Amino acid sequence: MILSTPISQLNKIGKVTANKFKKLGLEKAEDLLFYFPFRYDDFTQISTINNLQANSITTIKAFIKLISNKRSSIKKMVITEALVSDQTDHIKIIWFNQPFLIKTLKIGDEFYFSGKVEYNFNGLQITNPSYEKVSLWKKEAIHTGRLVPIYPTTENLTQKQIRFLIKFIIPLTKEIRDWLPEEIKKNLSFPDLTDALQQIHFPNDKIKLEQAIERLKFDELFLIQIQTQQSKKILEKNKAIKINFKEAETKTFVQSLSFQLTDAQKKSAWQILKDLQKNKPMNRLLEGEVGSGKTIIAIITMLNIFLNGYQSVLMVPTEILAQQHFNNICQLLANFNIKIGLITRSNKQIFNFLRQLEDPIFKKNKTKKQNIIDNADIIIGTHSLIQENIKIKNLGLIIIDEQHRFGVEQRTKLITQNKTQKFIPHFLSMTATPIPRSLALVLYGDLDLSIIDELPEQRKKIITKIVDSKNRQLAYDFIKNEIKKGRQIFVLCPLINESDKLGVKSATTEYEKLRKTIFPDFKIGLIHGKLKVKEKESTMQDFLKNKINILVSTSVIEVGIDIPNASVIMIESAERFGLAQLYQFRGRVGRGEQQSYCFLFSETSGIKTKKRLQTLLTAKNSFELAEKDLEIRGPGELYSLTKSCSAQQSGYLSFLKIARLTDYSIIQNARNWAKKILDQDQELKNLPNLKDKIKKLKIENY
């Protein structure tokens, strides 16, 4: 038996049982060793029967005196009753729907029973306890009288089956080479990997268990940090253009704005400008909720790149957003004579404020796109530019807006793909998705982080109401009045089509209801993820031009264009969304001068749901809500990040078997140690076990 032995060949496990383990992602012996319990039953308290107390969880050692099955007429279940005794007293034990026990628990045999003692009208009894024959206890207990591991399981695969099999292969832990450097184990008082794995499955006591958990949590996070920090160090080896800060011109631009920059904007801008002054490429993530002013930071950055004689590329999710950025940036940089290019599927143009640059500038032997690339100082396009393998000879900066799919490998490829340059462009990723700091350190550990955690003072606070279903008509009347004032409305639903099973609102059904019954006199549009790109963009363009009064949508508007005229967003089945996601949706309104509103409707009326939604009304910012979301819903539910991540980032999340993204101090500690180890030995030449483990992880996951 070795670590790679298939489960089907372990301890007479047949194909049927092996397939059950396969459903859990377990195919070989080594998989089982890293399949951790999610909790433990504490059966360490051993008592005689005469000392048992109601509601206590304990273990007794007793002989079977009587045992029988009887059928309950109420719920048509089989009840197995046993009378057991020790030298002090006797007690009744019952099991439900386990008639086979009458053949297993034979009269006269001695067993250990572990479970909860309950009191009923006949006195004390134990219900559905775990049991183990005393004669088998000579080696070590597995199911009773100890901290008993409870594992995630699947249909018809019992806890006993899992425990028996893991106990059978536990000696294989000695075959796994410990990848953690001795320096770390000594400094943090961690047990060896063999001990940690044995204690996580069958702990001797709570102290040993805690030590094992801490060690294995650290391992998972440390291995991820080693990978991200290695990628960062490889990138930092490349030379980048040193971009000098053009203070006078930057000040002129900032003073030309019709608003004041927030302190958070100033701090983030300065962090970026300092990065640009280094000879190594910037690799930074800028986080800021909708309306916090990330675009202005991007413009300040691109302005400094231009003033140093280099080009910038800004990539955004949609054509409409690219067009909107193009229009805004042309206007804001009007006084700097910057040539700004737009490359989308339907529109390719180059422009500066003084004149439209038409065909005379274009060389006839080149495509319009290539002419724009060759001549523009700032190039704006969609994310598809990365697939087109564009080559920009003088590229100094790449900015990606709202693209979670760009993992470490994709970012490295994007930055290094232009091999005609002797230098690497600087890289800035921007997102309005409030990512909790711990999650950012795991998913984007190779990036430095800047956060804009405040909104401009001039933005009016959005009035948010949790609306009771009986007041729905009042909300509709309010919307009618807003439309009569010339305003526009968002109606958001969690599903595209109706689901009777879930009982939540769908966009298509709501669209038909609003169009035919509630607002027959208004123009209503529908947008969702299953529509073709052209259909979505056409509808959004009509909404932008105020040809549509009400836009019914799914969560595709989470990353959307700026509609200053939209004053109300009505969110149906709000309980189906994360708190930070709701905060994002709310940010679709409140972009203009008028007062804006957010109405939340819920299909459930529970206190817990209302309390959770109430948090949206009191939270200071979206980052506070994101942390709450992470705690309540977990990383997989957070904006469906596992769907929008790169394969590598999804690999990181799936790798976390025991560590949690709420373990911020462990994440930070793992990050610090990863940096220290790589500073000493970047290629891990002196740490072969760690090097091999990292190599294996990359092959398995990515």
Residue 40 phi, psi (nearest 5): -135, 140
Decide if pLDDT at 630 tops 90: no
Per-residue model confidence as pLDDT tens digits over 243-265: 999 999 999 999 999 889 999 99
CA atoms of 583 and 112, how far apart (whole Å): 54
Q: What is the pLDDT of residue 702?
A: 46
CA atoms of 584 and 425, how far apart (whole Å): 31
CA atoms of 599 and 421, how far apart (whole Å): 52
Tokens representing residue 43 in the block: 């059966």
Decide if pLDDT at 217 tops 90: yes
Pairing of strands 78-85, 90-96: antiparallel
Per-residue model confidence as pLDDT tens digits over 573-616: 888 887 877 888 888 888 888 899 999 998 777 777 777 788 78
CA dihedral of 502, 504, 505, 507, whole degrees rounded to 10: -40
Tokens representing residue 7 in the block: 């489960």
Kindly report which listed range (31-45, 383-397, 495-509, 602-616) carries the lowest average pLDDT score. 495-509
Decide if pLDDT at 16 tops 80: yes
Q: What is the pLDDT of residue 386?
A: 67
- Residue 670 identity (one-letter amino acid): A
Question: How many other C-beta atoms can be found within 10 angstroms of the C-beta atom of residue 210?
Answer: 12
Question: What confidence tier does 622 reach under pLDDT thresholds 50, 70, 90?
Answer: confident
Kindly report which listed range (32-46, 303-317, 370-384, 670-684) carries the lowest average pLDDT score. 370-384
Q: Note whether 272 and 428 are within 8 A (CB).
A: yes
Q: What is the CA radius of gyration of the chain?
A: 31
Kindly report which listed range (18-32, 124-138, 311-325, 357-371) carries the lowest average pLDDT score. 357-371
CA atoms of 668 and 338, how far apart (whole Å): 42
Decide if pLDDT at 363 tops 70: no
Q: Who wins on pLDDT, 606 or 692? A: 692
Q: Which of 230, 223, 44, 235 is CA-nearest to residue 145?
A: 44
Decide if pLDDT at 627 tops 80: no
Q: What is the pLDDT of residue 642?
A: 45
Residue 416 phi, psi (nearest 5): -105, 0
**Which residues are 40's β-sheet partners?**
149
Decide if pLDDT at 621 tops 80: no
74-110: burial string, b at 16+ Cβ within 10 Å, e else: eeeebbbebbbebeeeebbbbbeebeeebeebeeeee
For residue 187, count CB atoms less than 10 angstroms from its CB and return exposed for 0-12, middle for 13-18, buried for 19 or more: exposed
CA atoms of 191 and 210, how far apart (whole Å): 11
Q: Who wins on pLDDT, 627 or 545? A: 545
Name the average pLDDT for the chain. Answer: 85
Q: Note whether 59 and 43 are within 8 A (CB).
A: yes
Question: What confidence tier does 504 reach under pLDDT thresholds 50, 70, 90?
Answer: low
Query: How much of the chain, in percent, has pLDDT values that exceed 70?
Result: 88
Decide if pLDDT at 568 tops 70: yes
CA atoms of 327 and 615, how far apart (whole Å): 37
Per-residue model confidence as pLDDT tens digits over 146-170: 999 999 999 889 999 999 999 999 9
* Distant-in-sequence, close-in-space partners of 165: CB < 8 Å, separation ≥ 6: 7, 10, 11, 13, 21, 32
Tell me the domains of the chain and their CATH numbers: 1-38+151-174 (1.10.150), 41-150 (2.40.50.140), 247-452 (3.40.50.300), 463-620 (3.40.50.300)
Residue-wise DSSP of 511-532: HHHIIIII-TTS-EEEE-TTS-
Q: What is the pLDDT of residue 410?
A: 56
Decide if pLDDT at 635 tops 80: no
Q: What is the pLDDT of residue 448?
A: 87
Q: What is the pLDDT of residue 354?
A: 43
Q: What is the pLDDT of residue 409?
A: 57
Kindly report which listed range (123-132, 289-298, 300-309) carries the lowest average pLDDT score. 289-298
Q: Who wins on pLDDT, 600 or 432? A: 600
Per-residue model confidence as pLDDT tens digits over 643-688: 445 555 555 667 788 988 778 899 999 999 999 999 999 999 999 9
Q: What is the pLDDT of residue 651?
A: 57
- Residue 504 identity (one-letter amino acid): V
29-65: burial string, b at 16+ Cβ within 10 Å, e else: bbbbbbbbbeebbebbeebebeebeeeeebbbbbbbe
Question: What confidence tier does 137 reach under pLDDT thresholds 50, 70, 90?
Answer: low
Q: What is the 3-state secondary structure (H, E, C) of 89-103?
A: CEEEEEEECCCCHHH
Per-residue model confidence as pLDDT tens digits over 437-480: 777 777 777 788 898 888 777 778 889 998 988 899 999 999 99
Q: What is the pLDDT of residue 470?
A: 87
Q: Note whether 592 and 565 are within 8 A (CB).
A: yes
Q: What is the pLDDT of residue 456?
A: 79
Kindly report which listed range (159-168, 396-405, 513-522) carries the lowest average pLDDT score. 396-405
CA atoms of 223 and 667, how far apart (whole Å): 11
Q: What average pLDDT does range 87-105 have in this prediction?
A: 93
Of 102-116, 365-379, 443-457, 688-702, highest mean pLDDT: 102-116
Query: How much of the chain, in percent, has pLDDT values that exceed 90?
Result: 52
CA atoms of 38 and 149, how far apart (whole Å): 8
Q: What is the pLDDT of residue 639?
A: 44
Kindly report which listed range (170-184, 209-223, 315-329, 362-376) carries the lowest average pLDDT score. 362-376
How long a stretch of residues is the chain? 702
Q: What is the pLDDT of residue 87?
A: 94
Question: What confidence tier does 355 reach under pLDDT thresholds 50, 70, 90?
Answer: very low
Decide if pLDDT at 391 tops 60: yes
Q: What average pLDDT does range 209-217 have in this prediction?
A: 97
Question: How many other C-beta atoms can be found within 10 angstroms of the C-beta atom of residue 349?
Answer: 17
In three-state secondary structure terms, 594 is coil
Decide if pLDDT at 103 tops 60: yes
Residue 400 phi, psi (nearest 5): -115, 125
Residue-wise DSSP of 35-94: ---SEEEE---B--GGG--TT-EEEEEEEEEEEEEEE-TTT--EEEEEEEE-SS-EEEEE
Q: What is the pLDDT of residue 41?
A: 93
Question: What confidence tier does 390 reach under pLDDT thresholds 50, 70, 90?
Answer: low
Q: What average pLDDT does range 351-370 have in this prediction?
A: 55
Q: What is the pLDDT of residue 643?
A: 45
CA atoms of 678 and 132, how far apart (whole Å): 49
For residue 690, count CB atoms less than 10 angstroms from its CB and return exposed for 0-12, middle for 13-18, buried for 19 or more: buried
- Token pair 């927030």: residue: 262
